[in-house]
Amino acid sequence: MDHRCTVEAVDKSRKNILSISDTILKNTPFGRNAIIGGDFRQVFYVVSNGRRQDILLGSINRSHLWNYCQVFLLTKNMRLNEELTTTASRNKVLEFKKWVLNIGYGT
């Protein structure tokens, strides 16, 4: 995850570069290109000597660009989707899947 100022700087740079060839892109977020973020449940950026409010105010959902973002929710752990031959291994993987999702949900 990046500080919102980083994402806003990337947005401004992309607009400036792409608007040279198409002036409509000057007012289009990210110059009409997709930007991939991260998982809010996994990583927060570090604010040196910052308080909790400093971290929260720097998150992307506090940016003016948040209205243009589309959030995708991933519900399957693709690393654990392999077909397993033994029942014991399959049960361990299913238990681990539930445990990882519970951590993500804060339980």
Question: Mean of the pLDDT values across residues 31-54?
Answer: 73
Q: What is the pLDDT of residue 21?
A: 83
Mean pLDDT, rounded, of the chain: 77
The single-letter code of the amino acid at 79 is: R
- CA–CA separation, 83 vs 63, rounded Å? 42
Question: Mean of the pLDDT values across residues 27-55?
Answer: 75
Identify which has the larger pLDDT, 17 or 60. Answer: 17
Sign of CA dihedral 76, 81, 85, 89: negative
Q: What is the pLDDT of residue 82?
A: 59
Structure tokens, 52: 């909790």
- CA–CA separation, 80 vs 100, rounded Å? 11
Q: What is the pLDDT of residue 41?
A: 59
28-32, 41-45, 69-73: the lowest-pLDDT one: 41-45
What are the Cα distances from residue 96, in Å, to 5, 7, 77, 84, 89?
A: 36, 34, 10, 14, 11
Place of tokens 């700087």: 9
Q: Are 97 and 39 in contact (CB under 8 A)?
A: no
Identify which has the larger pLDDT, 31 or 84. Answer: 31
pLDDT tens readout for residues 57-104:
888 788 888 888 887 776 766 666 656 556 677 788 788 878 877 877
